[in-house]
């Protein structure tokens, strides 16, 4: 449940990282303090920063630098890995191709998804079937991103174990059928500076990405240092800035975790407006449930105390497909 938060908390999760697979995790005082902070942040804002996460700063920078260099290439080069329905919505989309609530977003991106092989999830998974399309240069682009995805998957799993405890469940609540085989999405995104987007320097407020919620469990956002562009909506309808905190990820709750928590945790609306003159890059990793799992409120004392089920059960893959197949113009 979002409140009138005015800033987004920073949580040092190092104790949780150290103990996440320890059988005594639930009794560790330092972990309990992290869990308390996660619970508070998820209830009040649905957004928080994490530091002490263990992913090297050099890697956070490298994935952004490689992304930035890709977007500097001429359009003809970028469109060699064009995203279409036939590629399973994987690949490059130009500025204005992604639409949010009917309005074109002022960003370009490479979208990647966990591989879906033919017939893997029957008709449900058909639109997402395909392999990712990676740029040829630098030659280690694919390997670098796969390494990053693997580290983000491990990190998100650990944070989700903490969130399971925060919800009054067992740390294993999201293993197995729920998210033991987590689907993932990664978006490499570029937002032109205000002047480039408009052709003149004085016009502001072009929407880099319109107000939306994320679709799955937990998002790990690695945003450019020094540019303040991400905004998060609080209960009063005010847009609160989520400025970059170097070395930290911005984390936020997705629609599936809202359902699992029976609305105790909100998937908070957020948007991007790059009013700076500079081109902004973000690398966004989305940790999701199993593709074909049906999601409904967990049965823990906290979710039960929040009253009868507030949301209809949802199948994550259906939710994703309904978004992906309506998110783009002209493809
Ligand atoms: N996989 C995720 N969460 N992508 C978020 C993209 C948000 C913009 C999209 N046009 C929308 O309207 O959802
Ligand atoms: O670039 C950002 O800061 C946020 C992007 C985002 O919200 C998304 O891709 O879902
Ligand atoms: Fe988002």
The dihedral of CA 55, 57, 62, 63: what is its sign? positive
Candidate of 101, 270, 288 to mutate for ligand 2, largest count of ligand atoms within 8 Å of Cβ: 270
- Residue 154 CA to ligand 2 center (angstroms) comes to 21
Q: Residue 307: what pLDDT? A: 96
Contact 16, 154 (CB under 8 A): no
Residues 6 or more apart in contact with residue 154 via CB below 8 angstroms: none
DSSP 327: S
Residue with tokens 């998002």: 219
List Cα–Cα distances, 200 to 194, 203, 204, in angstroms: 8, 7, 9
Instruction: Give the closest ligand to the alpha carbon of residue 112.
Output: 1
Burial 45-78 (b: 16+ CB within 10 A, else e): bbbbbbebbebeeeebebbbebbeebbeeeeeeb
Q: Residue 229: what pLDDT? A: 97
- Of 217, 148, 225, 161, residue with least CA distance to 187: 148
- Reported as a pLDDT band with limits 50, 70 and 90, residue 196 is low
Q: Does domain 10-324 have CATH number 3.40.50.1100?
A: no
- Residue 215 CA to ligand 1 center (angstroms) comes to 8
Ligand 2, atom nearest to 242 Cα? 3
- Binding pocket residue ranges, ligand 2, CB within 6 Å: 187, 189, 209, 214, 221, 223, 230, 270, 272, 282, 284
Residue range 3-60, pLDDT digits in tens: 888 999 999 999 999 999 999 999 999 999 999 999 999 999 999 999 999 999 999 9
Rounded to whole angstroms, the Cα distance separating 15 from 5 reads 26
Kindly report the CA angle at 272 between 271 and 278, in degrees rounded to 5?
175
Rounded to whole angstroms, the Cα distance separating 126 from 322 reads 12
- Binding pocket residue ranges, ligand 1, CB within 6 Å: 98-100, 185, 209, 212, 214-215, 286, 323, 327
Kindly report the CA angle at 70 between 89 and 112, in degrees rounded to 5?
25
Q: Residue 1: what pLDDT? A: 62
- In 135-217, the DSSP E strands lie at 184-191, 209-212
Residue range 268-323, pLDDT digits in tens: 999 999 999 999 999 999 999 999 999 999 999 999 999 999 999 999 999 999 99
Q: Does residue 219 carry a pLDDT above 60?
A: yes
- Residue 220 CA to ligand 2 center (angstroms) comes to 10
- Reported as a pLDDT band with limits 50, 70 and 90, residue 194 is confident
Structure ipTM over 0.85, yes or no = yes
Ligand 1, atom nearest to 111 Cα? 1
Return the structure tokens found at 15: 């104790």
- Of 1, 11, 50, 2, residue with least CA distance to 238: 2
Q: Which helix (H) or strand (E) holds 223?
A: strand 218-223
Mean pLDDT of 183-194: 96
Indicate which residue's Cα is closest to atom 10 of ligand 1: 100
Domain limits of the chain? 10-324
- Residue 236 CA to ligand 3 center (angstroms) comes to 20
Q: Residue 3: what pLDDT? A: 81
- Residue 263 CA to ligand 3 center (angstroms) comes to 18
């Amino acid at each position: 449940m979002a409140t009138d938060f005015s800033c987004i908390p920073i949580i040092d999760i190092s104790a949780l990282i150290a103990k996440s697979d320890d059988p005594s995790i639930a009794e560790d005082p330092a972990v309990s303090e992290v869990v308390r902070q996660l619970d508070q942040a998820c209830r009040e804002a649905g957004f928080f920063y994490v530091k002490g996460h263990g992913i090297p700063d050099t890697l956070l920078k490298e994935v952004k630098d490689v992304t930035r260099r890709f977007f500097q290439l001429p359009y003809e080069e970028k469109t060699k890995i064009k995203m279409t329905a036939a590629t399973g919505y994987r690949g490059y989309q130009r500025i204005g191709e992604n639409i949010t609530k009917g309005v074109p977003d002022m960003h370009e991106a490479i979208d990647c998804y966990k591989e879906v092989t033919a017939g893997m999830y029957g008709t449900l998974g058909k639109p997402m079937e395909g392999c990712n399309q990676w740029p040829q240069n630098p030659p280690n682009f694919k390997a670098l991103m796969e390494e990053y995805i693997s580290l983000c998957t491990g990190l998100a799993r650990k944070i989700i174990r903490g969130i399971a405890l925060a919800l009054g469940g067992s740390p294993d609540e999201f293993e197995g059928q729920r998210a033991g085989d987590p689907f993932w999405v990664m978006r490499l995104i570029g937002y032109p500076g205000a002047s480039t987007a408009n052709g003149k320097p004085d016009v502001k407020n072009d929407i880099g990405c319109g107000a939306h919620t994320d679709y799955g469990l937990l998002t790990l956002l690695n945003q450019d240092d020094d540019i303040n562009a991400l905004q998060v909506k609080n209960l009063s309808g005010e847009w609160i800035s989520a400025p970059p905190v170097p070395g930290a990820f911005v984390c936020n709750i997705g629609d599936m975790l809202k359902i699992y928590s029976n609305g105790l945790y909100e998937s908070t609306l957020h948007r991007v407006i790059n009013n700076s003159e500079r081109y902004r890059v973000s690398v966004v990793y989305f940790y999701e449930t199993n593709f074909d799992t049906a999601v409904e409120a967990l049965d823990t004392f906290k979710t039960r105390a929040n009253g009868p089920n507030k949301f209809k059960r949802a199948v994550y893959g259906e939710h994703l497909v309904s978004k992906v197949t309506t998110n783009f113009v002209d493809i």
